[in-house]
Amino acid sequence: MKVLFALTVFAVISLHSFRLRAQSDKAVTEPGKKSTEHLYLDVHHLGPGKVTAEAVAEAHAKDLAVQGKYGVHFLKYWVDEAGGDVYCLSSSADTQSIRKTHADAHGLLPDQIYAVTEGKESATNGEKNFYLDIHEFGAEKVTAKDVAAAHQKDLAVEGKYGVNFINYWVNGGVVVCLSQAPDSLAVIKTHKEAHGLVPQHIMQVKPGEK
């Protein structure tokens, strides 16, 4: 089965971040119709020690100030201060509009932009630690249906380890999960008991405000 939202070629992630091959900047549209909005995750690799949550909040505010000009809607973002990476979730007709928004707002262009589908979001709780964990399966080796089933297994086990899975995003060969947990080991234990699919990478992040 192929992922319905797959727009182009997917690739693999490097050891500490999304090191995938960039996909096409063209959105999928029906003949004779205008571009429709798609969900995208764009990633900025700034380097360890070169990014702070405060600086990203300032850049995000600039994005919000100009996003309407390009038809982009920035939804959420997460900051990995230790790794120096920023992950932005947005809806847009195409990736080029996202690049134009970032360029106009602050000049910090993303290193990659990927089309994704997402699951059903759960509410956050009082746990202050947020984590993004990444599962690598290989190009077109996983479907949204597969991930939805695995996610339900996570939800059935998460309470045992004090984890709260909030949502996940799928782009064909890679799955990214957002959770709250006491520590990264609790997230790994939950995945392992639920379905055995242990993430290749996990990082603590700070969520930004819309």
For 156-176, give the DSSP string: HHGGGGT-EEEEEEE-SSEEE
Q: What are φ and ψ of residue 176, in 5° steps? A: -115, 125
* pTM, rounded to two decimals: 0.81
Q: Which two tokens stand for residue 204?
A: 């603590």
The answer to whether the beta carbons of residues 114 and 18 sit under 8 Å apart is yes
Q: Which two tokens stand for residue 130?
A: 């947020």
Which pairs count as long-range contacts for 61-64, CB under 8 Å and 24+ apart, including other chains?
A: 62/105, 62/106, 63/88, 63/101, 63/102, 63/105, 63/106
The answer to whether the beta carbons of residues 176 and 134 sit under 8 Å apart is yes
Question: In the structure, what pLDDT confidence band is assigned to residue 96 with cuts at 50, 70 and 90?
Answer: very high
What is the CA 151 to chain-centroid distance, rounded?
A: 16
Question: In the structure, what pLDDT confidence band is assigned to residue 20 with cuts at 50, 70 and 90?
Answer: very low
Q: For residues 15 and 17, what is the distance between their CA atoms, to the nearest angstrom?
A: 6
Q: Which two tokens stand for residue 132?
A: 């993004």
Bridge partners, residue 89, by sequence: 41, 76
Closest by CA position to 168, among listed 183, 152, 190? 152
pLDDT tens per residue, range 188-202: 999 999 999 999 999
Question: In the structure, what pLDDT confidence band is assigned to residue 210 with cuts at 50, 70 and 90?
Answer: low
Q: What are φ and ψ of residue 86, in 5° steps? A: -130, 135
| C-alpha distances in Å from residue 17, one per residue of 23, 28, 94, 159 | 16, 27, 23, 28
The domains found in the chain, sorted by start residue, are: 118-205 (3.30.70.3090)
Element (H, E) at 177: strand 174-180
Q: For residues 12 and 49, what is the distance between their CA atoms, to the nearest angstrom?
A: 25
pLDDT tens per residue, range 132-179: 999 988 877 788 999 999 999 999 999 999 999 999 999 988 899 999
